Every structure is written in structure tokens, then in C-alpha cells.
Structure 1
Amino acid sequence: MSSVSAAGSAGLAESPRGGSGGGTTPSPARRGRSTGAGPLPYVLVAPVIVFIAGLAFVPAVFTIVQSFFTVNALDPPTRFSGLRNFRALAESDAIRSSLANTALYVVVGVVLSTVLGIVMAILLQRPFRGRSLVIAVLILPWALPGVVEGILWSGIFDPNAGLVSAVMNDVGLGGGHLLLGENRVLTIVLIELVQVWQITPLSVLLVLAALQLIPDELYEAAQIDGCSRWGAIRQITLPLARPGIAVCMVQALVATLNVFDQPYVLNGAAATGATVTMQTYFVSFQNLDFGQGYALSLFITVLTLVGSLVIVKAVYRKVEL
């Protein structure tokens, strides 16, 4: 017995510090294997990162460089022109008109899609029977291509057999009115309603995802304190949903700044509804002036980035529960 006790005492004396059961500290190699550290994960992910970076940055760099060159199939060869492309765009009446149109598209689209997204997300916040079906149906307009939506709504806006004309005739306003192409503001608002119909489902999902992170205990505490439903929305829901609302507004801004399908299908190349993105197509592929097309694309990109940063700075707030 004395020999066994001595051996046990020697084993305890040789054990490292901090061990609760006399275990040994694992070696660095074993710790690396147990935590999964090592270069292998980074090697496996590297091709995807390189592909995504190339897909994003190579066209961007190419566009930036080519926007300072004269790239015109009718005026070869390609040569450096400095800011000539940007000056030509600034002096173009068509570009200035399309910028004003695009500004109206952005205002109508961002405001309507954000307000509708918040309202519908609040209605869908609490589980109810059939909510999954409602969300599935809600996603359908977002899943449709813009060209298909333009074709569908062109029938609705048809002055002879369209739904809007029929309703106007039934209420005594007289049918057969040409809604698109005559009045600039009315044309833009009606076309943007079509795009709002497309982008609002994504706005709803983004805001709804933010609402799902709000604990129910906050609403229960507010109800105990006598807070009304509207008071809970104003003091709990909207402040805590600001990250989702910011993302919702950014995606609406990107979509409306780059709108092309709906105006082109519903109104063609008419100046009453032409956008900056449409002018990029006209300048590049109708005038064959790719240098100015690159310059206008660069301008739209910078405008999108600046607008997105302004929205994030103004709306986004970090939420800590």
C-alpha cells in the first residue's frame, strides 16, 4: 500500500498546473487539429473569393478606365479624351431630362415600397393561420422578370380594353384615355407603381426579418405599462427595425436608380419616361459611343453608392437588446 501511495503522489507531483483531473495539456499540433485551424479552409475558399472579386472589380476597373477614352465604332481608333465624355453628357438635354425622370422614379419608388413594406411586415409579424401561404403569394411579383411585368401592366393601362380605362368609364370619368406618354409626371408615377409592385415583396421580407428579432417580452412589458398598439409600434417596432428598414430603402434605391425594363416596355423610348439607365443603352448601342456609355455607367454607380451611404447613415442604427 505504501508503494502504491508513493507512486500516486509522484504522479500528482508531475502533473501540470491547472489540471483538474491530472490530465496533460494537449500539444499545439493537437490543439490546431481540434479547433480546425490551418490553411486548408482558406485554400478551399480562395477560388470562390478570387472569382467573386474578379467578377465585381474587373468590370468596374474596366469601366472606370474606358470612361476617359473615346470608344466609338463610328470614330476609330480608341484614344484618350480625358473628361470629354463627362462634359458631353452634362451638356446633353436628353441626359438632363432622364436625370429628372430618374429622380422622380427614386422618390416615388423608395417612399412607396418602404411604407408598404413596413405596414405589410407589421401585419405579418404575428403568426396566424395561412401566413406562409400569404408570404408565398406575396413573393410572386418579385419573382417575375421586369419585362413580363411590363407586358402584363401594358394590358391594364391599355386605353381601349384595359382595366384602368374600364374603371374610369364605370365611375363616369370616361374611358379611352391615353395614360402613358402624354403627361410626364403621370407617366412616371404609373410606371413606378409597376416597379413598386415588383420590389415591395423584398422590402416586406427584409423588414419582417428585422421584426422577428424583437423579443415578445418588450411588447408584453409595454402592454402592462398601458401602452397602446400604435404606441408599441412607434416606440418599439420602428426603432428596433431600423436596420431592416435601412436595407429595404437601399435595395429600393438601387432598383429605382437602375430601372429599365418597365419604362422601356410600357413607354418605349419616349422622353416622358426615359431613365438614365435607358440613356446608357441608347448612347452605347444606338449611338455606338461606348466611351460616353462607360462614363454614364460610372456616374450611375457613383450616384448609387453615395445615395446608399446617405440612407445607411441617416436610417441605420445598431440595435442592442
Structure 2
Amino acid sequence: MTRPPLDTLPRTPQDTGADRDAAPGARRRRRFDPLPYLLVSPLALFIVALALVPAVFTIVESFFRVDALDPPTRFIGLGNFRSLLHSAAVRTAAGNTMLYVLIGVALSTVLGIVMAITLQHRFAGRSVLIAVLILPWALPGVVEGIVWSGIWDANSGLLNSVLTSLHLIDHYQTFLGHGRLETIALIELVQVWQITPLSALLVLASLQNIPHDLYEAAKLDGCSSWAAFRRVTLPLVRPGIAVAMVQAVIATLNVFDQPYVLNGAASTGSSVMAQTYFISFQNLDFGAGYALSLLVTAATLVLSFLVVKFVHRTVEF
């Protein structure tokens, strides 16, 4: 004889009583518990007050004429954006900033990958080297600009001294402010020195997640070190590379400290964020400054999205 399915068997009074006993417990588990929300609410309110409120204020004020020398505040629609598009200084700064982005993202990503691969395997002094590597990233941008101004200085700079001692030049040269591309490249080298350690650590974190068995299998298949890097390491480390590139995009699009300290208000190396500062706090045209900040934010979001879309890939081991 075949036994009937369990779900067709008659339920005993004991089973029914157990269900009745379990029902109040289930109802108790479904009761609303306000404690987690109370614990999270201070941080949530702090984030809203610190980030969202200024963001909304910036968006709203970018459509108004906010000039301390020409009160009162009045609505002008897209007037601030039109004035920015017709400003030669803003267009020059936008071109400079795109060069900062191209140079900074490319160099920091390549150098970050090289450093991460170097630090992937344990060796003597590895921890000390990682600690030293983090130092440039931990320093404020203003401090780095001051330190590097002693290297690029035209009168007593270290670079001029070294090149003169090696007889590569016969007199001191002016490196910053002499040519646009040269100035942008030298200033961006300072920022690359700052952001590359973070890129290296992000890529290194992805490298640590790659199983060593994959490299052994690639070696058994006859892959060289370069082939294993192209076919194993590079595809599996793309999530870390994408995050490193996004942080480099954000840093280079919003570069301000290094150009301002090393080049001042000169147009040869001015960035968009430097122009935001000049428009807002020197010209006191806060409406146009809000509008330019909004444009930089939109450009940052768009470029970051493109990096994630074309570089990032989901990796499962």
C-alpha cells in the first residue's frame, strides 16, 4: 500500500494547538520596532543637513542673480548658464580641466595597476612600503602644492638645480606658466602623486580576491606572465580599476588646490573649480558660481557613469 501524501493527512489536535501557540509569537515578530530607526536617524539627519540641503540650495540659486554688489536677488532663468558659456575664462578653464582629467586618470590608473601588482605578493618591507605609499594621499592638496613649488620654482627650484648640476641646461628655466600644455602636465603630475596611492590600494584589494588556482591553471596551459596578466588578472580586476578610475575622475574634475597654489590666477593652468572660486569670491557673482558648480557636478556624474558602464564588469569566482 502506498501512503497518502503528508499534506492530505488529517491534522491532530496537538498540531492545531501548536499552530495556535506559534501564532502569537509570529505576530510579536511582525511588530514594528522603532529602535533601529532611532539609532540611524541622527546620522541620516546629519547627511541630509550636510549634503542634500546645500545641493538643493545650489540648484535653486543657480537660476537667480545673486550678486552682493547688485542686490536684490532676482530670478533670471538660464541667464547664469548663458553667461558662463560666453565667458572666455570659463571656456579656457574647461579645456584645461579636460586635460587634467585625461592626464590624471590615465597616469593614476596605469601607475596604480603597476604598484598593485608589485605589492600583490608578500616580501620583506611590504608593510612599510604600503605605509609610505599612503602618505601622499593623506597630505592635503595645499601642502602638496607648497612642497612641489620648491621643485618647480624658477629661481631656486630643486629641478633646476639638478638639471644645472648635470649640465643638461645652462641656466634656470621657468617651467610653470611658460606654456599651457607644459604647465598643465606639471601641475597634474602633482595631483597624480596624490591620487595614485588610492588607485593602487583599490586595485590591490581586487587582486587579493583572485584565487591563486587560476594562475596555476594558466601556467599549466602554457601562459606566459604577460598572457596570464592579460587573460586572468586584467579581466578579473576590472571592478577595482573601475572604482579607481571613478575616484580619479572626481578628483581631477574638481582639482583646485594644486593649480591655485602652483599657478595662481594665471589662465595657463586654471581649472573650472578655480574659476568657480574667482567668480564667487572675487567677482561676488554667487549665482554664476552656483551655476558653474552645478555644471561640474553634472559632468562628474556623467563621466563617472560612463567609466562604470564601459570599464566595470561583474566578477564571480
Separation (CA, whole Å) in 2 of partners of 1:37 and 1:129: 55
Structure 2 residue 44 is the aligned partner of structure 1 residue 62: no
Separation (CA, whole Å) in 2 of partners of 1:133 and 1:62: 45
Write out aligned runs for 1:161-200 (5 A).
Answer: 161-169=156-164, 170-200=166-196
The answer to which of 241-250 and 23-32 deviates more is 23-32
Structure 2 residue 294 is the aligned partner of structure 1 residue 274: no
> Letter of the aligned partner of 1:284 in structure 2?
S
Residue matched to 1:96: 91
> Letter of the aligned partner of 2:278 in structure 1?
F
Structure 2 residue 104 is the aligned partner of structure 1 residue 109: yes
Separation (CA, whole Å) in 1 of partners of 2:21 and 2:177: 76
Counterpart among 27, 47, 53 of residue 48 in structure 2: 53
Separation (CA, whole Å) in 1 of partners of 2:234 and 2:201: 15
Structure 2 residue 68 is the aligned partner of structure 1 residue 73: yes
The answer to which of 128-137 and 180-189 deviates more is 128-137
Q: What per-residue deviation string (whole Å, max 9, x for no partner) do you get for residues 217-249 of structure 1?
A: 111111121211111111111111111100100
Residue matched to 2:133: 138
Residue matched to 1:316: 312
Instruction: Compute the RMSD of aligned alpha carbons.
Output: 2.2
SS of the equivalent of 1:100 reads: helix
Q: What per-residue deviation string (whole Å, max 9, x for no partner) do you get for residues 125-171 of structure 1?
A: 11222211110000000000111100100001122322211232214
Identity among equivalent pairs (%): 63
Counterpart among 281, 304, 314 of residue 285 in structure 1: 281
Residue matched to 2:238: 242
Shift of 1:172: 2.2
The answer to which of 120-129 and 181-190 deviates more is 120-129
Write out aligned runs for 1:220-239 (5 A).
Answer: 220-239=216-235
Q: What per-residue deviation string (whole Å, max 9, x for no partner) do you get for residues 236-266 of structure 1?
A: 1111111110010010010001101111111
TM-score under structure 1 length normalisation: 0.90
**Gap change, CA 1:29 and 1:296, over 3 Å in 2:** farther
**Structure 1 gap ranges (5+):** 1-12, 18-22
**Gap change, CA 1:44 and 1:31, over 3 Å in 2:** farther
CA contact 1:194–1:262 (8 Å) conserved in 2: yes
Q: What per-residue deviation string (whole Å, max 9, x for no partner) do you get for residues 23-44 of structure 1?
A: 9998366568889983322331
Q: What per-residue deviation string (whole Å, max 9, x for no partner) do you get for residues 12-56 of structure 1?
A: x76549xxxxx9998366568889983322331122123213322
Residue matched to 1:205: 201
Residue matched to 1:296: 292
CA contact 1:168–1:175 (8 Å) conserved in 2: no
Residue matched to 1:119: 114
**Gap change, CA 1:163 and 1:29, over 3 Å in 2:** farther
Q: What per-residue deviation string (whole Å, max 9, x for no partner) do you get for residues 66-109 of structure 1?
A: 00000001110000001111111000000000011101101000
**Gap change, CA 1:247 and 1:35, over 3 Å in 2:** farther
Shift of 1:58: 0.8
Counterpart among 147, 155, 175 of residue 152 in structure 1: 147
SS of the equivalent of 1:27 reads: helix
Shift of 1:182: 1.2
Residue matched to 1:10: none
Shift of 1:277: 0.2
The answer to which of 46-55 and 95-104 deviates more is 46-55
**Gap change, CA 1:28 and 1:208, over 3 Å in 2:** farther
**Gap change, CA 1:255 and 1:25, over 3 Å in 2:** farther
CA contact 1:102–1:276 (8 Å) conserved in 2: yes
Separation (CA, whole Å) in 2 of partners of 1:313 and 1:300: 20
**Gap change, CA 1:24 and 1:178, over 3 Å in 2:** same
> Letter of the aligned partner of 1:278 in structure 2?
A
CA contact 1:146–1:261 (8 Å) conserved in 2: yes
**Gap change, CA 1:75 and 1:30, over 3 Å in 2:** same
TM-score under structure 2 length normalisation: 0.91
CA contact 1:166–1:175 (8 Å) conserved in 2: no
Separation (CA, whole Å) in 2 of partners of 1:222 and 1:151: 48
